[in-house]
Amino acid sequence: MIGILSFVGFTVLVAIIAYFATRKTDESTSDGYFLGGRSLTAGVIAGSLLLTNLSTEQIVGLNGSSYANGLSVMAWETLAAIAIVVTAIFLLPRYLKGGLTTVPQFLAERYDVTTKTITSALFLTGYVVVLLPIILYSGSVAISGMFDVPSLLNVSDDAAIKICVWGIGIVGSIYAVFGGLKAVAVSDSINAIGLLVGGVLVPIFGLIIIGDGNFFEGITTLMESNPEKFQSMGAETSPVPFHTLFTGMMLVQLFYWGTNQQIIQRALAAKNLKEGQKGLMLASFIKILGPIIVVLPGIIAFHIFGADLENADEAYPLLVNRVMPSTLIGFFAAVIFGAILSSFNSVLNSSVTLFGIDIYKQHINKEATEKTVVKYGKIFGTFLAIAAMFIAPFIADAGSLFAYLQEVNGIYSIPILTIIVVGYLTRFVPAIAAKIGVVSGSVLYIISQFVLQPYFQDQAVADAKANGVSGVAELAAVEASAYPHFLDVMAILFVLNVAIMLIIGKIWPREVPYLQEHTKQVDIKPWKYVKPVGVMIIVIVIGIYAYFA
């Protein structure tokens, strides 16, 4: 009962603070609704970025991966810090100079409206078909398990999942659809504090248990007992082979942190470039500490429970139940609930933004006032949320699906990153090059990963079995080495797409070179310490890898 009361209390507190922080924001305009009136400060931007990034599939999934594979999976966290630095120094000044509300808006200015529409459609497809239902389902599984909802309400497991799906969906929709970005960002910032506190407490309590009451003794025991788990350089058969850090991993990180509407929208809402850069740098520094929350607990779970867990994703929930004092379970569940809501309402808010600005205003009603655009954006968001709530309970095997989705997202992530990078770095590459780049990048990736890869892997496994290889680990190694890692494929296609676009630009250049105009919506004077701080963050990341090499 204490856990449930603390859960409800913290959740209601967040809602009340978000209401009072946003009640004076004019949300009848596009800037007011979609970008919080371009008023976000560094702390709010950093908090919203971090909590938008963290949700149940990452906290549970990445800890499950570290339970099975060790420290090498920290690349998904630490490499993000470098990508955020690049975004702050290179991309954000250009975004704010152009007064962008959505990333595809730049593509309309740089190339043409058709390119923008194609990109918006790709973003929306990824958000609607993939992210929203999965966030709802994974979050519902977590909440249902934490509070044992089936027993609490005397319902079946399936009914409990549906109840949680609709509960999370309705609350998230209220934030995202009716509150706009500022309500999302403010609630994110408060929950981010709770997530950082609760997330750090889990490994602290775990290490105290391992050290028989001594935290520092716990660290020594953990590292000396499991040296194989503290290797930063992943083997070729690991989920993140070390060489991929220099191929597709950085491209994926740059897409996610620099061009993904769901993420970059927080920085686009900055009151000025200085606040935006400070917010990004703060988020970058905290991401370096991210493995403490999303990697270290998995290794602690391996030490405590051994290698006997049938499902690695059970490692984190079991650890929380084992080490967290009962009085804090409700608070931590509320924080996890906030993380679930953050991912859901952030994706939903970004989808509403893309539809309102890039679809409705552009193609359905060009004469629409800003108030009308916001109105129909909210209607679209409501239908989107309802659709996701209906779809979510039908997701059967979310655990395996998440790992698969990292690969599937390459269908649109690398092509979009390609045309944005080429768009900013060149002046004469024409619109036709961008269209060809997006289409060829998507098609070639689909052929590579869903036609060629299965063929070569099946053939290699068949040959290995014919030669007497029968062990599960041995066959898995054969399968992994039969075809390039998907991150390597992304890097190859990125280089190929850039080359194609540059060749087209050389043969059929734009008649008038592209020149970005300053809309003067916000001050774009950079933060004077952005480059020194960026260099410091990069040095720290390299130092971490060197220490655990």
Q: Is residue 535 part of a domain?
A: no
**What's the CA gap between 83 and 171, in Å, rounded?**
32
Q: For residues 71 and 183, state if they share a domain.
A: yes
**What's the CA gap between 216 and 208, in Å, rounded?**
8
Q: Is residue 23 part of a domain?
A: yes
Is the pLDDT at 176 greater than 60, yes or no?
no
Residue 12's pLDDT is: 64
Residue given tokens 């409800």 in the structure block: 8
Which of 224, 290, 243, 258 has the alpha carbon at shortest distance from 74? 290
Helix (H, G, I), strand (E, B) or coil at 91: helix
Is the pLDDT at 534 greater than 90, yes or no?
yes
Residue 454's pLDDT is: 87
Among the residue ranges 17-21, 290-294, 463-467, the one predicted with the least confidence is 17-21
Distances (CA, A) of 40 to 17, 148, 340, 495: 16, 38, 22, 36
Residue 5's pLDDT is: 62
Domain count, the chain: 2
**Number of other CB atoms surrounding residue 462 within 10 Å:** 11
Is the pLDDT at 2 greater than 60, yes or no?
no
Domain boundary at 397, 428, 452, which? 397
Which band of pLDDT confidence, cut at 50, 70 and 90, is reported for residue 185?
low
Residue 503's pLDDT is: 95
| Domain carrying residue 22 | 2-397
Q: Is residue 531 part of a domain?
A: no
**What's the CA gap between 219 and 110, in Å, rounded?**
52
Q: What mean pLDDT is reported for the chain? A: 81
The token pair that represents 133 in the structure block: 């239902």
Among the residue ranges 41-45, 148-152, 405-409, 530-534, the one predicted with the least confidence is 405-409
What is the pTM (predicted TM-score) of this model? 0.81
Q: For residues 318 and 226, state if they share a domain.
A: yes
Q: For residues 134 and 247, state if they share a domain.
A: yes
Q: Is residue 526 part of a domain?
A: no
- Is the model more confident about 469 or about 86? 86
Which band of pLDDT confidence, cut at 50, 70 and 90, is reported for residue 364?
confident
Q: What is the mean pLDDT of residues 452-464?
A: 87
Q: For residues 387 and 503, state if they share a domain.
A: no
Q: For residues 386 and 485, state if they share a domain.
A: no
HSE-up of 421 (CA within 13 Å, CB side)? 21
Q: What is the mean pLDDT of residues 374-394?
A: 81
Is the pLDDT at 161 greater than 90, yes or no?
no
Is the pLDDT at 519 greater than 60, yes or no?
yes
Q: Are 111 and 423 in contact (CB under 8 A)?
A: yes
Burial class of residue 16 (count of CB atoms within 10 Å of its CB; 0-12, 13-18, 19+): exposed
Which band of pLDDT confidence, cut at 50, 70 and 90, is reported for residue 34?
very low
**What's the CA gap between 140 and 340, in Å, rounded?**
9
Residue 506's pLDDT is: 93
The token pair that represents 231 in the structure block: 């290797």
**What's the CA gap between 139 and 7, in Å, rounded?**
15
Q: Is residue 527 part of a domain?
A: no
Residue given tokens 């608070």 in the structure block: 331
Residue 396's pLDDT is: 56
Domain boundary at 373, 397, 421, which? 397
Q: Are 359 and 373 in contact (CB under 8 A)?
A: no
Q: What is the mean pLDDT of residues 427-434?
A: 94
Q: For residues 209 and 65, state if they share a domain.
A: yes
Q: Are 349 and 184 in contact (CB under 8 A)?
A: yes
**What's the CA gap between 138 and 161, in Å, rounded?**
9
Domain boundary at 397, 423, 441, which? 397
Q: For residues 68 and 144, state if they share a domain.
A: yes
DSSP labels, 178-220: IHHHHHHHHHHHHHHHHHHHHHHHHHHHHHHHHTTT-HHHHHH
